[in-house]
Structure 1
Amino acid sequence: MSTQSLGRDVIRFSLLGLGALVLVYAPLLFDPLVRHDDFPALLGTKEMAYIKALDEGRWLNYWWQFRPYFWPAPVSFVLYLIASAVFAASTALIVFGRDAPGWYRGYFTLFVVLSIPTFLISFWFNTLLPGAWVIALFALAVVFLPHRIALALMLIAVPLSFMAYTTYPFLLLTLLLLSHKAPQTYKSMVTTLLVFFVSLVLAVVSVYSLNYLYHGVFGIPIAEWRAPTEAKTLDDLIVNLGKLKRFLMMTVRQFGGGTAGTGAVLLLFFVGAWVCLFRWQRFTAIAVLAAALAGLAPLFAKSLMSGVLVPVRAYGWIWILIGFTFTTATLHMAKTPGRWASVARITIMYVLLIKLILFGRATYLQIPEWQKTTRDLAASIPEGTSAIHIYGEFLGLNGARSAGIQFSRGLQLRLAYLTGAEVFICHKQPEDCEKETPPFDPMDWTHVPVVESRGEVSFLLLPPPPVGP
C-alpha cells in the first residue's frame, strides 16, 4: 500500500469526521461552551493548572499555558475538532486497513468521532488541545510507520498523553492491539502489553518526580474536592464497592443517552457481537478483551481503594472497542448470505443515529441559551468597565441548568473573557465588593438581570433561581 494512497485515505476520512463534527457543533463554532476549569488554559492563568499538575499529573497542560500567544476560544475549538477528526480517521485505517469496504471504514470513523466520551470531554478543549494532538499524531504515526517503530513510540507518547489526561494512554494501547499491521500472534500481543506497561510506569515515575521537584510530594495526592474515602478496613472497601456499583449504573445510563434501558441494550449488543467475534476471529476478540481489561483493571482497583470514580468522559477507548466489535461482526456477517447482515447494519446505524440526536439536542437546544444569555449580559456592560460586581445566584440566569453550569466561576470567568473586566461574585468574595456600595438593594427581587454602572465599576443583580416544578 503506497504512502500516497494512505495519505488520501487519511484526508478523505478526516474530512468525513470533521464534517460530522461541524454538523453537530454548528451552533457553537463561533462561541463554544468553555467549562469553568477550562478557562485558565484560555486566559493563560496558571494557578489552577499548577495545582492540577500536582493532583492529577497534568504537566503537559500546565506547560501549555506558557505558550507565547493566546487566541480566542473558537480557534482552539476548531483545532481540537480537527485533531479529533484526524484521530478518528487514523483509527479506522489502523484497525481495518484498506481491506474493508470504504462504507465500514467511514462508519467507524463516525462512530469514533461521535463517541459519547469524546462529546462529554470536548468542552475542555482549551486545556486538552495539546493532548488531543499528541494522540492524533501518534495515530498518524501508526498509520504510516511499521508496527515495531510505532510500538517503540509508545515510550514517548504514553508519558506525554498521560500528562494531558490520565486515560489517554489506553487509546494508544487500543490502536496497537487492534492494528491490522500487528502480527496476529499472542506473543506479539503480550509484547505490546509489556511495552505499554513499561511506558505507563515511565509516565507515572516522571509525574511523581516532577511533583517531588516542584511540590515536594513524590506521588499524585488526591484532591479533597474529589471526596476520597481511602479503604483502610473491609467496611471501607464495601462502601467503595457500593460507590463503584452506583457509578457503573450511571455509566450505563450515560452510554444510553440518559436512559438506562438503552444503555443496557447497547451493552447487550456489544456482548453478543463479542461472542460472535470470539467464534469467528478468536484472536481479535481476545485483543479487544485485553485492551478493555488493561485499562479497566487499574481504574477500578484505584476506585475501590480510594473511593474516587473516573467520569464517563474518560472511557474513550472503551467506546472504540464497542464500535470496533460492532463493525467487525457486521463486516463478517456481510460476507455470508442472509438477513442477519442487514439486521446488523441497521443496528449499528441506529446506534449512530441515537448519538446524533443526543448530541444535537445538547448543542442546538440546551447549550446555546446560556451562551446567548451571557453574551447579552456582556453587551450590557458599558465600555471602559474595569470591574463587575455580581449579586445573586448564577442559576437564576436562563440556560444555566440546561448547559450544566456547575459553579459561579462558570459565569465569573465567562464574563471576564467576554468583557476583559475583573469579575467578582460578591457573596463569595465580600472583601472585594465591600469597597463599593451597589446602586440597588442586593436583596431586591428581579425577574431579569439588572445592570447599573458607576464610573468604571458595573453592578449586576441576578434573578433568583426558579423554584418548584
Structure 2
Amino acid sequence: MTLIDSLPNTVPVSDHAQRTRIFPVLTAALLSILIISLPNLLDPIIRHDDYPAYFGDAATFWEKTLHEGRWLNYVWHLRGIETPAWLNFSVYQALWALFAAATAMAALGKKGPGWFSVVLALLILVAPPASLISLWFNTLIPGLAIVSLYAVLGCYLPPTKLRMLLPVFVVVSFMAYSTYPLLLLAIVLVRSDERSLKDLASILVLFIFSFALAVLTAYSLNWQIHGIFGVPLAEWRDGNPATDFDGLLANLPRVTQSVSDFLVKTAFEFKPAVVFHIGMLMAASIVLWRNARLEALYLHAGLWMGLGLMTVQISKLGVIAPPRAFIFVWVFYALLIVRASEILTQKGGLSGRMARNFVLLILGSYLLQTFTQYSTYRPWQQETRRLATIVASAQEPIYLQGQVLQLPSAKAAFIQTETALISRMRQLTGRDTILCHTDLAACEQAKLGGGTVIDLE
C-alpha cells in the first residue's frame, strides 16, 4: 500500500445533475444578505476612491491601472452609463450571495441542497472582510461577477473542465482585485472528486502558473501602455520595497501587523473571539485529519497557499495589507469548520451537537454583527443628505467650511478623506462644492456675496 492509498478519501464521485440544485441555497443567501444589508441598502455608503466607478470617471481611475494593475475595473469605468448607487450595491450583494451559495453547493451539495450547505453559504456570506470590501461595490462588480460565474460553473462542470478554465478566470479576476484568484482556488479544491497527493500537487502547480500568468499579463499591459514593466507602488501606500533578503526580513513585522489587523477586524474588535476562532480552526482541522485526511490537506493547502502569497507580497512591497484582502481566509475557515461539523454530526453524539451549536453561534452572531456594521454608516448618510438639501438650493460657487474628518458621523463611518464629502454632494445634487481651506481667499470673498458658504459645524 502506498502513502497515497493510505490517506482516506471520503469524497465519492459527484452527481453533477444534483450539484446544480443551488436555487434553494441561493434563495436563503439572497434573503439573508437582503436583511443584513438593510441599513445600507437604499442609500449605500461609497468610499472616496469608489466614486470614479459610480460616476464612470475613467480618467480619475486611470492611475490605478499603473499602480494596481486593475485593467478590468478600468474597462468597467468606460461603460458610459451611471446607475443608482442602491442598484449597484444590490447587484454586488446579490453576486456575493451567488458566490456563497454556489461555493457551498460545490463543496457539500453532492446529494442536493441540505442543512449544512445552507449554513456554509450563510457563513461565507457574513465574512467580515466581505462586508468591508463591499463598500467599494461600484468598482468591484465586474470582478465579483467573474468570481461568482466560476463558482456557478463549479456546480455544473466536471473538475477537468473547471481546471482548464482556471488560468483565464485567474488572469481576469486578478485585474479586478489581487486576492480574488484565491477564491477561485477554493472552488477548484472543493470540486476535486477523486483526491490524491498527485492531484493536489497538480492543482497547486496549475494555480501558481495561472497566478504568474496574471501578474505577467498586468505587467505587460503596463509596459505596452504606460511604458513600465511592472506595477510600481503608489506613494500613498507608504511602502518600503525590499531589494534584498535583509529587506524582506525587515518587512516581516508588516506581515504580522497585517495578519493581526485581519484577526481583530474579523472578531469585530473583540479580541477573545480571535482565540475562539483559532480554536475552532484547530479543532476542525483535527476532525478532518482523522476522518477525511485528503480533504483536510486540500483545504489547508489552499489556505496556506493564499497566506504564503500574501506574505511574499507584503514582504516584497513593505506595505500593510488591509483586512479585506484576506477574504479568502474566511472562506477556507468556513469550509473547514462546517465540513468538520457535518462529519461529527454524521457520527452522532455530544460532539456532533456541540459542533453544530458552535457553528450556529458564529453564524447567528455574525449575521447580527454585519447588520450592526452596516448601521454605523447611517449617521453620515443622513447628515450628508441634510447638507445636500442646502447645497441644492445654494448660489454657486458653493464653499463648505469646517473640518470634515472631525465630524462625529464621519468618524463613525471611518471616512478617510475630505474629498468623500465633495463626491457625496455631487452624487446627491449634481453640483460641485469646494472646501474653504483649499481656497481661503475665494471663500472669504463668497461670504461677502457672489457665492455661498455653508458651515459644516
Instruction: Give the TM-score category using the shorter length.
Output: over 0.9
- Alignment equivalent of 1:414, drawn from 415, 421, 424: 424
Q: What is the aligned partner in structure 2 of residue 18 from structure 1?
A: 30
Deviation at 1:4, TM superposition (A): 6.8
Counterpart CA distance in 2 for 1:398 and 1:245 is: 31
Deviation at 1:360, TM superposition (A): 1.9
Counterpart CA distance in 1 for 2:313 and 2:261 is: 18
Counterpart CA distance in 2 for 1:437 and 1:4 is: 72
Counterpart CA distance in 1 for 2:392 and 2:190 is: 57
Counterpart CA distance in 1 for 2:58 and 2:398 is: 22
1:58 touches 1:163 (CA, 8 Å); kept in 2? yes
1:71 aligns with 2:46: no
**Cα deviation code 1:356-394 (max 9, x no counterpart):** 222122223x11111000001001224475543112111
Structure 2 residue identity aligned to 1:52: K
**Cα deviation code 1:182-227 (max 9, x no counterpart):** 3212222222222222211221111111111221110011111111
Counterpart CA distance in 1 for 2:354 and 2:205 is: 39
Change (3 A) 1:100 1:281: farther
Q: What is the aligned partner in structure 2 of residue 241 from structure 1?
A: 252
Counterpart CA distance in 2 for 1:150 and 1:386 is: 57
Q: What is the aligned partner in structure 2 of residue 399 from structure 1?
A: 409
Aligned to 2:434, the other structure's residue is in SS state strand
Aligned to 1:424, the other structure's residue is in SS state strand
| Root-mean-square deviation (Å) | 2.0
1:286 aligns with 2:280: no
2:16 touches 2:155 (CA, 8 Å); kept in 1? no
- Alignment equivalent of 1:109, drawn from 121, 133, 145: 121
Aligned to 2:110, the other structure's residue is in SS state coil
- Alignment equivalent of 1:80, drawn from 76, 92, 116: 92
Q: What is the aligned partner in structure 2 of residue 446 from structure 1?
A: none
1:338 aligns with 2:349: yes
Structure 2 residue identity aligned to 1:86: L
1:44 aligns with 2:53: no
Structure 1 residue identity aligned to 2:146: V
Counterpart CA distance in 2 for 1:370 and 1:18 is: 26
Deviation at 1:437, TM superposition (A): 1.3
Aligned to 1:69, the other structure's residue is in SS state coil
Structure 1 residue identity aligned to 2:331: I
Counterpart CA distance in 2 for 1:189 and 1:235 is: 33
2:105 touches 2:113 (CA, 8 Å); kept in 1? no
1:434 aligns with 2:445: no
2:95 touches 2:148 (CA, 8 Å); kept in 1? yes
Aligned to 1:438, the other structure's residue is in SS state helix
Q: What is the aligned partner in structure 1 of residue 364 from structure 2?
A: 353
**Cα deviation code 1:392-415 (max 9, x no counterpart):** 111343411111111101111111
1:249 touches 1:260 (CA, 8 Å); kept in 2? no
2:392 touches 2:429 (CA, 8 Å); kept in 1? no
**Cα deviation code 1:292-342 (max 9, x no counterpart):** 122111210221232112211111221111111111111111122311111
Higher mean C-alpha displacement, 17-26 vs 384-393: 384-393
2:69 touches 2:175 (CA, 8 Å); kept in 1? yes
Q: What is the aligned partner in structure 2 of residue 378 from structure 1?
A: 388
Which has the higher relative contact order, 1 or 2, with Cα contacts under 8 A spaced 6 or more apart? 2
**Cα deviation code 1:249-269 (max 9, x no counterpart):** 222211211122211211121
2:105 touches 2:112 (CA, 8 Å); kept in 1? no
1:225 aligns with 2:225: no
Q: What is the aligned partner in structure 1 of residue 456 from structure 2?
A: 462
**Cα deviation code 1:118-150 (max 9, x no counterpart):** 111000000000001000111111111121111
Deviation at 1:6, TM superposition (A): 4.7
Counterpart CA distance in 2 for 1:263 and 1:67 is: 42
1:396 touches 1:462 (CA, 8 Å); kept in 2? no
Counterpart CA distance in 2 for 1:126 and 1:386 is: 29
Q: What is the aligned partner in structure 1 of residue 3 from structure 2?
A: none
1:182 touches 1:188 (CA, 8 Å); kept in 2? no
Structure 1 residue identity aligned to 2:237: R
Change (3 A) 1:44 1:193: same
Q: Which 5+ residue runs of structure 2 have no aligned equivalent?
A: 1-13
Deviation at 1:238, TM superposition (A): 4.6
The structure in which a higher percent of residues are helix is 2
- Alignment equivalent of 2:340, drawn from 308, 319, 329: 329
1:299 aligns with 2:310: yes
Q: What is the aligned partner in structure 1 of residue 47 from structure 2?
A: 35
Deviation at 1:2, TM superposition (A): 7.7
1:120 touches 1:313 (CA, 8 Å); kept in 2? yes
Q: Which 5+ residue runs of structure 1 have no aligned equivalent?
A: 441-453, 464-469
Counterpart CA distance in 2 for 1:107 and 1:233 is: 46
1:244 touches 1:309 (CA, 8 Å); kept in 2? yes
Counterpart CA distance in 2 for 1:382 and 1:118 is: 34
Aligned to 1:334, the other structure's residue is in SS state helix
Counterpart CA distance in 1 for 2:107 and 2:397 is: 54
2:41 touches 2:90 (CA, 8 Å); kept in 1? yes
Counterpart CA distance in 2 for 1:191 and 1:92 is: 23
Aligned to 1:310, the other structure's residue is in SS state coil
Structure 2 residue identity aligned to 1:430: D
